[in-house]
Amino acid sequence: MIQKPIILTSGDPAGIGAEIALKAWQQGCQDFVIFEDAARLQSLASDLGMDFQIISIPQLDSFDPDCGAMQVLPISWAVPPKSGTPEKANASMIIKAIKDAAEYIQNGQAAAMVTNPIAKANLYEAGFTYPGHTEFLGSLCSPDKGAPLMMLACDNLRVVPLTVHIPLADVASRITPEAIIDACHLIAKSLRQFEQINDPHIAVCGLNPHAGEQGSMGQEDATIIAPAIAILRAQNINVTGPYPADTLFHPKARSKYDVALGMYHDQVLIPLKTIDFYGGVNITLGLDFIRTSPDHGTGFDIAGQGLARPDSLIAAITQARRMADSQATSNA
């Protein structure tokens, strides 16, 4: 039985997505088919000094993991992509590639999706109305309660921010017991399903310095976060906290939990990116398909210069395959 491929979306073709895909394939990460223009990729590969064949396949069922060539589901760009200069005319194809990738997985033809970075501002005129990839992907399926939820992972740490792309001034008002409870249930379910962790330990960060210092530095930790943790523990979810975030990410502390739930974006992304800036992976929890992505942006400033590193993309593809294999084991 031929293993179902991972689908890699194009991302914004003016960015580094094509370059890191080529570098990933050259370095032996060949478990994917990409939405792109094969001739454009072949030209870029030549510019980068890479010597391997790139072919278009008419449909995903034609994917052959042993053919020795990088395989492409063809895209016809409205305007030839220019490195570093996003083109609004290409926005509709960027969006279509994401939708088509989701449909391939939902139809059972692909194992998972890895998304190359997009520039949201460039997509708005094509009807894109979402804050980011995560919310858009949630609109393409019937997500679990509390989903979609973003988890960032590297070899030594997994983190989930309860709130994501909102102003820091709005964070406290968005933290509710219900949001914490839904997030922890989804995290626990996902780690059991995709990581084979039977009783995942979730460590919850406090919102305020010193987790509120018994109310002297804020009430949210005692009145919102701690009661939610008590409810979760009564529901047999292995959750502890709230912990002061400044003591939760050193090596000894990290060894005691499987994932840290933070209250806001930078609280948990700063430690992860400090530990492994190039190898972090963005994982969307709660969808009806597997989606990962490299933990970086489009890289317009370095696109076309041969400088982009494929580490995070390779990690994202590897993570997607591992999750797909684990899901298959869980469903067997």
Per-residue pLDDT reduced to its tens digit, 84-100: 999 999 999 999 999 99
Q: Domain locations in the chain?
A: 1-143+289-332, 156-275
Taking only the tens place, the pLDDT of each residue in 259-286 is: 999 999 999 999 999 999 999 999 999 9
> Phi/psi of residue 36, each to 5°?
-170, -175
- The closest of 80, 79, 81, 61 to 71, measured between CA atoms, is 61
Q: Are strands 281-285 and 149-154 parallel, antiparallel or unpaired?
A: antiparallel
Instruction: List all residues 6 or more positions away from 29 whose beta carbon is below 8 Å from its beta carbon.
Output: 310, 313, 314, 317, 318
**∠ CA 180-185-191 to the nearest 5 degrees?**
120
Q: What is the pLDDT of residues 74-87, one digit of tens each?
A: 999 999 999 999 99
Query: Residue 44 above 90 pLDDT?
Result: yes
The SS3 assignment for 207 reads coil
Give the pLDDT of residue 218.
82
pLDDT at 151 over 50: yes
In this structure, how many other beta carbons lie within 10 angstroms of the beta carbon of residue 216? 10
Q: Are 140 and 95 spatial neighbours (Cβ–Cβ below 8 Å)? A: no
Backbone angles phi, psi at 194, to 5 degrees: -105, -15
Omega of the bond leading into 148 within 30 degrees of 0 (cis) = yes
Confidence tier at 2 by pLDDT (50, 70, 90): low
State percent of the chain over pLDDT 90: 83
60-88 core/surface letters (b: 16 or more CB in 10 A; e: else): beebeeeeeebbbbebebeeebebbebbe
At 222-240, the pLDDT tens digits run 999 999 999 999 999 999 9
CATH superfamily of 1-143+289-332: Isopropylmalate Dehydrogenase (3.40.718.10)
Query: What are the DSSP calls for 69-108, one per residue?
Result: SEEEEE---SS--BTTB--GGGHHHHHHHHHHHHHHHHTT
User: What's the pTM?
Assistant: 0.93
pLDDT number for residue 332: 60
What's the confidence (pLDDT) of residue 100?
Answer: 96
Res 147: pLDDT = 82
CATH 3.40.718.10 fits 156-275, yes or no: yes
Contact of 324 with 112, CB cutoff 8 Å = yes
Same fold, 1-143+289-332 and 156-275: yes
